[in-house]
Amino acid sequence: MVFVKRKAHFNAAHRLHNPEKSEEWNKRVYGKCNHPNWHGHNYIIEVVVAGEPDPDTGYVIDLSKLYDIIEEQIIEKCDHKNLNLDVDFLDGILPSTENLVKAFYFQLKEPIEKACVEGGKLYAVKLHETERNAAEYCPYLLK
């Protein structure tokens, strides 16, 4: 199996706040990330596609198509946006890095798998919130 990776970046604001909990709880658990006027990150998303290369093209997925999908499904919707308020597929999701990476995976899965060679699949999505903090979602490792 061959793994193909594409990186992209975007800038966005968010606030970690659980409305089911008290203000004190939110401040204690989320600290600065609970600031009522939001805070921002320079995110880096890594998308990994897996499969066997097509014998005619040598591709698992055409990288220009993968770029277009990431741009359309994530970057155009999230770049310079408030992830709590502006992104339809994140409605009702607490935008922690862990929750975001899962939402991004499911946003990308269908269009990527349609663009892959037969048997190709979206393998994993990794989201870097900072240089030191990242989360990765790879459901195939759970089986």
Catalytically annotated residue among 14, 17, 33, 116? 33
Residues 6+ away with beta carbon under 8 Å from 52: 1, 2, 60, 117, 119, 120
Contact in structure between 12 and 62 (CB atoms under 8 Å)? no
Three-class SS state of 80: coil
Task: Examine the residue annotation and report whether 129 is marked as an active-site residue of this protein.
Answer: yes
Max CA distance (Å), the chain: 60
- Strand-pairing partners, residue 9, are 44
Please give the Cα distance from 18 to 94 (Å, whole number).
7
Task: Examine the residue annotation and report whether 80 is marked as an active-site residue of this protein.
Answer: yes
The token pair at 39 is 């805070």
Catalytically annotated residue among 52, 76, 80, 110? 80
Residues 6+ away with beta carbon under 8 Å from 94: 16, 17, 18
Active site members: 33, 80, 129
